[in-house]
A and B are shown apart, each in its own frame.
Chain A
Amino acid sequence: MAPLSVISLSLCFLLPLLSPAISTNSEGNALHALRRRLSDPTNVLQSWDPTLVNPCTWFHVTCDSNNHVIRLDLGNSNISGTLGPELAQLQHLQYLELYKNDISGEIPKELGNLKNLVGLDLYGNRFQGEIPKSFSGLKSLRFLRLNNNNLTGSIPRELTALSNLKVFDVSNNDLCGTIPVDGPFGMFSMPSYANNMRLNGPELKGLVPYNFGC
């Protein structure tokens, strides 16, 4: 029988702090945080080693010559889980390809900070909630595909500020209200909005409330 350890008071609170800082590569940390949120049964994220100087040698991650992440290609990768605000750390991201997975939860509004984002492909997941109004901050956005999710609410009118938007697809969701007609929305055709049972045709400024039917 061991004697009662009176001095069992844990000085071990000191111990874990003895390790020095490993890194603050914010993009790598952001991606690693994403990995922790995702379930990855087919190990497509196996190569994501947070101890490396940057994430540029991780598979499915593409960097520019300055070692900034510009593409994240995880389409069709059998991943599930949610996205978090940390993705906003990827300030140089141009393409976020997360299509055809099983990702759920809301689309983080922080994605609207990605000023360099050209293509945002979240189609074919189980995203819920509204399309973030903050997406109006995606000044470089050309391609926005959110189709085949469970998105609700109206199409944020703020998106009419996206002057570069060329492709917009929100078909097969549960959106409501009317469709904006200003800015780039003048040129999107009906299939972009198909199968949203509560979406009520183009905005009739003044005649019908924008969120009519929501």
Chain B
Amino acid sequence: MKEMHGLDVDPLTDIAICSGQTEAFAAAVFALIDPGDEVILFDPSYETYGGCITMAGGIPVCVDLDPPHWTSDPNKAYEAFYCQNKSYNIEQVLVCIINYHRKLYGIKTAGWRVGWAIASACIASTIRNIHTRITDCAPAPFQEAVVTALRIPPEYFELLRSDYESKRDFIIKMLAGVGFRIQFKPQGSVFVFAELPESCLLSDVEFIKESIKQAGVVAVPGCRFFHTMPPSDKRPPADLSYQQRYIRFAFCKSDATLAAAAQKIAGFSDARGRLKLF
């Protein structure tokens, strides 16, 4: 944390080691959310967040990021914080940041299930107490291995980043080449959120079904990452059809797999090189 973000975090009081980032999030939510508490999420968001908040009796309140560059409109955020009949003392609002196991993703061991939450001591303490009641501890041998992983010299991660950047560029070029609209190049993560062109009449789910059946390539429909909020006085009905137009492709795959996917997609394209489904 010090090396990456310049933050002085106390290892004895400010950290809860959990069974993966999923459990770190669950522990944080159960530790802090009372039934009826609202939790603001920025949409599109990972499906687990909303489900976990709901399971704890909380209410997910989604603030839409605006396509195509997923920018946040301050007015929407303001509206989420200050709704009709409610007012909040802003100091009471907790902002919890769950640190992705960035370096674990970097050492490609997502299946080891070691993650963590970092927060001020007054919150981290509670997260730890609840975590021990959900899974007791993260797998012990892998906690030891993660210590080694976190001490890998920065050069390894530079090489890794450059490797993933190439994969990202490869997949973007390939997808754009067959007709996907890529208006936003991902700045991080291992995913591309590609938009179906207007000429494609299929929804995201329909497209993926056809892609599996006909091209033999799997991706994830984007609709699962959007949570439609009901319109209100301050939230007029909006055109949310874009929420069924996105496909999430992962590029955390070997070069051979990415090349094979490109080949299958090419085989599923017409003479102009556009996907037949478009």
Do A and B make up one complex? no
